[in-house]
Every structure is written in structure tokens, then in C-alpha cells.
């Protein structure tokens, strides 16, 4: 196989030279993400597929988790929940972890009639060192006797499974702001924020009571009810005003986000996902809501995305499973970090089009690592601490702001901010397959534009050689052949463990001259510059 030389690619095509951008020397601490910033949300009905059980743990999933740890020094945290947590009922006599029935009229992608048995909770013990939140059923729990009994019966099982240092937090309900919407809404029209808060307090009181009885050493704290968005029937502002945190037990403010819908006409890679303007607008809406609730609060709960991904309704083939979606994921995560989000849980489920990996082989998909996983890899490295010191992320506005973005990661040393890393995400589209579907290659691929980026890096001395790490694929429409710094995490190579490909050039350096550094970045790719030892 011929060697794919990144340097040869960059020198073979005329570069587009940009202006010089200034990297801020004093980033705000609001852009300082938590450890485990790169995290995941797993659909409740898919969790046994992703994690396995004690006798058959999913080693492939765990390999991918350990890859994130290798780059960030922390494991991802997993939120187990989603729509199906509000369909799940407990059956004490059931030996199977989960039995689900798919009703295509409700959703073709996940079961909407679900029973779980005691074996379901084994999945929380299969990944050593990983923490989880468990999602309890409010949709049925606050509506039917069977739903309430499920809450009573499963709270002890969940706490016993999560009392081994693997508890993240608790969650009761998924997107209650949508409970009065759609054909299968679990609440009638007129159900309001006051009624919702009454139900939530009753349910969380029961969880606390059961945990105190069976796991008294656990201090029960909750994610705030994770709403789908600020424009739905119920508003988070009114929930908090109605006494949501009356018990003073909410430790994180969680919200959900999808840029657009998988079935919405006009959704494209370039116009929707590979579009920094759309991403900023979408993320900033949540910042506005958060500030409206906590603008007078001295110590507001940390802000997280408890569930997010590219396109709701589980994504669209040719969009959500492409390298362009991975570039969107990098940009979305980094911009979220820069404006104050402390953690981002990327949602996935078995057979979902936007998933980071398919955990098992089904009749719809084969086990394997998907393009969006590589976004997690790049973000994990960009947000890692420098030694024991957290980094602060800043967004650097660029002139072509719609289709490109840049970010800086600073850390504090001896009372002075220092630049650790610099990232450029070039989202200008470059496609090499017929119809951009990632399947059939074009007979003659078009020329790939390379853009030159220059940055004034205050505080970095001349002569410093920055290491260059590239996130690359054949184009934004690629669904395979993706690498980060020459590493592939394909299932077929070593069951998801990182394998360094010999046909990809690595070890590139750029030098700081006159207080500036410059780097060439091909369209539909991203690059990280790392300054100094330990960065």
C-alpha cells in the first residue's frame, strides 16, 4: 500500500493563506471543562448491548473507553437513559436483562414495550473504573401503579450495582418538557411545570428513601430533569421557579441538544453540521436559558449536555455516520467547552446512525467503530489536563467563521497562563464519493484545497517546536479510513485498540517564529498543535 504523506498532500495543492489571528493570553475560567469532559449517553434499551454482563462483558466497548483514557487520563462517564428509560418496567421473575418489542409506528429504532430483570444491573459492573448514572422511569412511574412499583423495586438494585465507586449521579425522567407532545405523550395537555415538579419531588424522595435503606453510605444527588430544549411546552425556568431544587439535591443542570432532525428537509453536511454558525446558535440558546435561571445565583450547578448528538431521530445515513459528522462533533464539543459546558455526553444506541460505535452485530449493522468516535479521540486530547492542572478552552474567531473554527487550551503555571494546545477545525466540504454517500468513490476525485492558518501565540518563545496531530480522512463524506495522528481504532484491526498505520505520515513539527506559528490544514480535516512537554 502506498504511503499517504500528509506533507506531500499539503505541498501538492496551492494553499489558501489567511490572516494572522491572535490567541488570547487570558482565557476565562468559564471555559474550563471538568475531567471526563468527553462522555457518553447510552440509550437505556441498548445498555446491555454496549456493556455486556458479568459472564460476557463487552471487551470491544471497553477497549474504546480505554483509548479515551489514554489520551485524556480520565475515563468517559456514562449516562444510561433516553426515551426508553420511560418505557421500562421491572419484572422480578425475568431472567433476561431486557426484553423489548419494537413498534414501528412508535419508533423503528428502539423498543417501546420494555421489561427489565435483575440481570440488567450486571451491566454496571463490566467496565472497571467507569462511572454511571442510572435513569429511572418517570413517564410511567408517575402515571401507573406498575411504573411506580418499578421505581420502588429498581432503586435498591441500581444502588447496589453502583455502590462500588462507579456511581456518577441519579436521573429521574427523560425530557419531561415533551411529556405532553406527540401521539404517545405520557401526560395530558395542561400538565404544567407545577404538576411536573410535584411528581419529580415525589419520585426523587422515593429513590432517596430506597437508597438510604439499602445503600446508606450513598449520598443521593440528582441531575436536574434533562429537557429537550427551551422552546417546548414546559420551561426549565418555570420548573426551577416551582421549587425543583426544594430538597437542595440537584448537583448538575443537564440539557439536551440536537442541531436538527434526521427527517427534516434541507439538512446537509455543509449547511447543517459542518457549519460553525449553526453550532454556535444552537449551543448559545442553552447558555441563554441557563443564565436566565441562575443569573442571581452565586454558585449555580454546573452546566452539562446530558444527551446530545447530530440529528434527532437517531441520525441519517450519509450525514450522521460520516467524517463530516466527526468534524461537527469536534467543533460542537470544543465550542461547548469554550462557553461554559463542563461535560458533554454524546448519545448513542444500537443501530443508531450517529453512534460512535456499534457494540454488537445485528441484522441491521455489524460491530464496528464509526466516524464520530474519532471526534471523541481528538477532543479527549485537546481537553486533557497539563499534569494536574486543568485547561481553559477559548474559541478563536476566524474570518471564514461559518465553515472553520479554532480553539486554544491554556493552563496556569506559577500564576501565568500558558498555551498548551491550539486546534483548527476546517469544515470546508471535500467529497470524494458519488452523491456524497461515502460508498462509491468518484472516478476522478476533485483537488483538495489546503488553507494556511497563522496565529500570534503570546507567551510562547521563538524556536519552540509544536507537535502536529491531524484528524484525517479521504473527505467529509468518508465513513471509513479515518485516522487521528495515524492511529486507527477499527474493530477489525485489534478489536478497537489503537493501531498505528504504516501508510500515514506522522511526527510533523511546526516552529514558532517571530511570536507566530502557522499550519496548513486540508479542507475537511482538523489539526491540533501541542506546545511543550506534557502538553
The 3-class SS string of 89-135 reads EECCCCCCCEEEECCCCCCCCCCCEEEECHHHHHHHHCCCCCCEEEE
3-state secondary structure of 531: coil
pLDDT more than 90, % of the chain: 86
Tell me 210's DSSP state.
H
Mean pLDDT of the chain: 94
List the catalytic residue out of 43, 199, 289, 307.
Answer: 307
C-alpha angle 165-167-171 in degrees, rounded to nearest 5: 175
CA distance linking residue 241 with residue 432, whole number of Å: 52
List the catalytic residue out of 193, 199, 289, 508.
Answer: 193
CA distance linking residue 226 with residue 398, whole number of Å: 33
CA distance linking residue 162 with residue 169, whole number of Å: 9
pLDDT at 1: 38
pLDDT at 12: 47
pLDDT tens digits for range 426-439: 999 999 887 766 67
pLDDT at 8: 52
pLDDT digits (tens), the chain, 535 positions: 344 455 455 544 546 666 899 998 888 778 999 999 999 999 999 999 999 999 999 999 999 999 999 999 999 999 999 999 999 999 999 999 999 999 998 999 999 999 999 999 999 999 999 999 999 999 999 899 999 999 999 999 999 999 999 999 999 999 999 999 877 899 999 999 999 999 999 999 999 999 999 999 999 999 999 999 777 889 999 999 999 999 999 999 999 999 999 999 999 999 999 999 999 999 999 999 999 999 988 899 999 999 999 999 999 999 999 999 999 999 999 999 999 999 999 999 999 999 999 999 999 999 999 999 999 999 999 999 999 999 999 999 998 789 999 999 999 988 889 999 999 999 999 998 877 666 778 888 889 999 999 999 988 999 999 999 999 999 999 999 999 999 999 999 999 999 999 999 899 999 999 999 999 999 999 999 999 877 8
The answer to whether the beta carbons of residues 67 and 497 sit under 8 Å apart is: yes
**Residue 142 phi/psi, 5° resolution?**
-95, 10
Write down the pTM of the prediction.
Answer: 0.96
Residue with C-alpha cell 455502590? 163
Give all strands (DSSP E) within 203-327, no chain letters: 222-223, 250-261, 303-312
pLDDT at 18: 65
The domains of the chain, with CATH numbers, are 38-388 (3.20.20.80), 392-530 (2.60.40.1180)
Identify whether 193 is a catalytic site residue.
yes
Amino acid at each position: 500500500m502506498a504511503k499517504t504523506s500528509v506533507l506531500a498532500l499539503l505541498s501538492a495543492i496551492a494553499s489558501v493563506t489567511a490572516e494572522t489571528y491572535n490567541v488570547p493570553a487570558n482565557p476565562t475560567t468559564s471555559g474550563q471543562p471538568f475531567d471526563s469532559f468527553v462522555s457518553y449517553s447510552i440509550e437505556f434499551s441498548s445498555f446491555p448491548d454496549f456493556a455486556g454482563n458479568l459472564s460476557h462483558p463487552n471487551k470491544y466497548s471497553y477497549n474504546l473507553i480505554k483509548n479515551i483514557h489514554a489520551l485524556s487520563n480520565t475515563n468517559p462517564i456514562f449516562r444510561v437513559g433516553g426515551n426508553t428509560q420511560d418505557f421500562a418496567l421491572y419484572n422480578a421473575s425475568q431472567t433476561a436483562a431486557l426484553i423489548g418489542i419494537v413498534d414501528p409506528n412508535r419508533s423503528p429504532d428502539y423498543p417501546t414495550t420494555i421489561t427489565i430483570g435483575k440481570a440488567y444491573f450486571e451491566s454496571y459492573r463490566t467496565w472497571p473504573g467507569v462511572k454511571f448514572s442510572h435513569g429511572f422511569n418517570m413517564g410511567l412511574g408517575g402515571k401507573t401503579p406498575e411504573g411506580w412499583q418499578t421505581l420502588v423495586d429498581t432503586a435498591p438494585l441500581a444502588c447496589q450495582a453502583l455502590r462500588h465507586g462507579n456511581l456518577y449521579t441519579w436521573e429521574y425522567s427523560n425530557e419531561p418538557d415533551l411529556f405532553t407532545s406527540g401521539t404517545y405523550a405520557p401526560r395530558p395537555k395542561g400538565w404544567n411545570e407545577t404538576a411536573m415538579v410535584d411528581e419529580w419531588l415525589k419520585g426523587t424522595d422515593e429513590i432517596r428513601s430506597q437508597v438510604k435503606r439499602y445503600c446508606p453510605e450513598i449520598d443521593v444527588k440528582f441531575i436536574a430533569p434533562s429537557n429537550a430544549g427551551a422552546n417546548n411546552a414546559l420551561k426549565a425556568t418555570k420548573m426551577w421557579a416551582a421549587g425543583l431544587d426544594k430538597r437542595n439535591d440537584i448537583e448538575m443542570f443537564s440539557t439536551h441538544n440536537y442541531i436538527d432532525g434526521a427527517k427534516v428537509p434541507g439538512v446537509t453536511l455543509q449547511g447543517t453540521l459542518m457549519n460553525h454558525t449553526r453550532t454556535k446558535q444552537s449551543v448559545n440558546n442553552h447558555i441563554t436559558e441557563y443564565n436566565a435561571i441562575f443569573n442571581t445565583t452565586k454558585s449555580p450547578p454546573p452546566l452539562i449536555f446530558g444527551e446530545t448528538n447530530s440529528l434527532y431521530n437517531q441520525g441519517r445515513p450519509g450525514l450522521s455516520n460520516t467524517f463530516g459528522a466527526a468534524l461537527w462533533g469536534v467543533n460542537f464539543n470544543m465550542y461547548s467547552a469554550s462557553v461554559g459546558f463542563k461535560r458533554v455526553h454524546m448519545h448513542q444506541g444500537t443501530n443508531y446512525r450517529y453512534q460512535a460505535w456499534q457494540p454488537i452485530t445485528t441484522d441491521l449493522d455489524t460491530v464496528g467503530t464509526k466516524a464520530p468516535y474519532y471526534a471523541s479521540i481528538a477532543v479527549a486530547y485537546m481537553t486533557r489536563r497539563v499534569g494536574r492542572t486543568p485547561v481553559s478552552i477559548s474559541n478563536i474567531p476566524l474570518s471564514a467563521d461559518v465553515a472553520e473554527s479554532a480553539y486554544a487550551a491554556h493552563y496556569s503555571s506559577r500564576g501565568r497562563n500558558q498555551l498548551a494546545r491550539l486546534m483548527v477545525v476546517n469544515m470546508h466540504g471535500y467529497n470524494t464519493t458519488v452523491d456524497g454517500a461515502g460508498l462509491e468513490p468518484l472516478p476522478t476525485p476533485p483537488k483538495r484545497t489546503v488553507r494556511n492558518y497563522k496565529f500570534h501565540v503570546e507567551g510562547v518563545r521563538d524556536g519552540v517546536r509544536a507537535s502536529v496531530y491531524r484528524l484525517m480522512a479521504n473527505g467529509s463524506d468518508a465513513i471509513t479510513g479515518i485516522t487521528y495522528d495515524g492511529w486507527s481504532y477499527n474493530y477489525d484491526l485489534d478489536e478497537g485498540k489503537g493501531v498505528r498505520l504504516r501508510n500515514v505520515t506522522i511526527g510533523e513539527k511546526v516552529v514558532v517564529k517571530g511570536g507566530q506559528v502557522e499550519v496548513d490544514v486540508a479542507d475537511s480535516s482538523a489539526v491540533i498543535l501541542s506546545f511543550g512537554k506534557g502538553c
